[in-house]
A and B are shown apart, each in its own frame.
Chain A
Amino acid sequence: MMELIKQPWPWYVAGPLIGLVVPALLLLGNKTFGISASLRHICAACIPANISFFKYDWKKESWNLFFAAGIILGGFIATYLLSNPGPVGINPDTIAALKHQGVKDFSGLLPQDIFNFSQLLTLRGFVFIVVGGFLVGFGTRYAGGCTSGHAIMGISSLQWPSLVATCCFMIGGFVMTWFILPYLLQL
């Protein structure tokens, strides 16, 4: 049993479990599934700076910070207690294409040659980590949600704006992967 858990989980196990987070949060306290709002709550709590976007009662939304903290905790548990370390079993074609574009490390969840503290002060590392992080923070708040809030929660509850947002996320991902990333990897 433990060996089964320690292997990577297939999509048909993971997807339905993620889907069940939606009713779990609704029934536990009328909470709508979403993660990126926690970024706003942290800003509102730490540096409101008299900005109207941050003027609201973030304490009422503190459940979301507990949820986000739980995700970090779960990530640690899964990584250090429930996994066999090793490379992610992705398509060899993807590995070949990424190697061709300059990615060197395939030993973990992320390419360590890019996402690494020692890379932070290089141009490429800065673009991937800091500029990328900024775009995640700005984009999710501008869109009013991320993959969880829009793609899963929003589409699950048949909300038209969420379908639009999800399509745009996908378009953005394709454009980045096919047209921009090859150049960023060369920085």
Chain B
Amino acid sequence: MRNIKYLIVGMLFGIVLVKSQVVSWFRIQEMFRLQAFHMYGVIGSAIVVGMISVLLIKRFQIKTINHEAVVIPDKNFTGATFTADSSSASAGQLPVPAPVHYSPKLAAAF
């Protein structure tokens, strides 16, 4: 039942996606034809707010509601985001470039 909170966050997120029309095929067309600022505004301001939030969490070492330290795993170029990261590469299915674990920790700057 502790997953219900994610259902609620997802629900609010889904409402925003529809209300801002970013789910619209037409909005996406408009974006890639450079005929409106709307989508760029949505994505850009979301990134800015997200970035400030992450900065504040790190700067003030804000804890989760369960009093755990916040950990953000590194993204890497291998394909998947966690656990069996290199599994598909080792299975020979995906042509992964040589420096697979290239992740300069920019985040270490603060």
- Interfacial residues, chain A to chain B (CB-CB below 8 A): 5, 8-34, 37, 40, 51-53, 55-57, 61-64, 66-75, 77-79, 82-83, 88, 90-91, 93-95, 97-98, 106, 109-111, 115, 141-145, 147, 149-162, 164-165, 173-174, 176-178
* Contact residues, B40-73 vs A (CB, 8 A): 40-51, 53-54, 56-57, 62-66, 68, 70-73
A156 to B88, CA, bound (A): 27
* Contact residues, B91-107 vs A (CB, 8 A): 91, 94, 102-104, 106-107
Given A78-B19, A144-B76, A149-B81: A11 in contact with B45 (beta carbons within 8 A): yes
Q: Which 8 A-B pairs have the closest CB atoms?
A: A70-B10, A74-B14, A19-B49, A15-B45, A11-B41, A14-B20, A156-B50, A78-B18
Pair A173/B6 contact, Cβ less than 8 Å? no
Q: Size of chain B's interface in residues, with CB distance under 8 A? A: 85
- Interfacial residues, chain B to chain A (CB-CB below 8 A): 2-33, 35-51, 53-54, 56-57, 62-66, 68, 70-84, 87-88, 90-91, 94, 102-104, 106-107, 109
Q: Which one, B19, B35, B70, B94, contacts A9 given CB within 8 A?
A: B19
A24 to B32, CA, bound (A): 30
Main secondary structure of the interface of B (DSSP, over half): helix
Beyond known contacts A74-B12, A158-B51, A159-B106: 8 more, CB 8 A cutoff: A11-B41, A26-B64, A29-B65, A53-B88, A57-B83, A73-B7, A91-B36, A161-B103
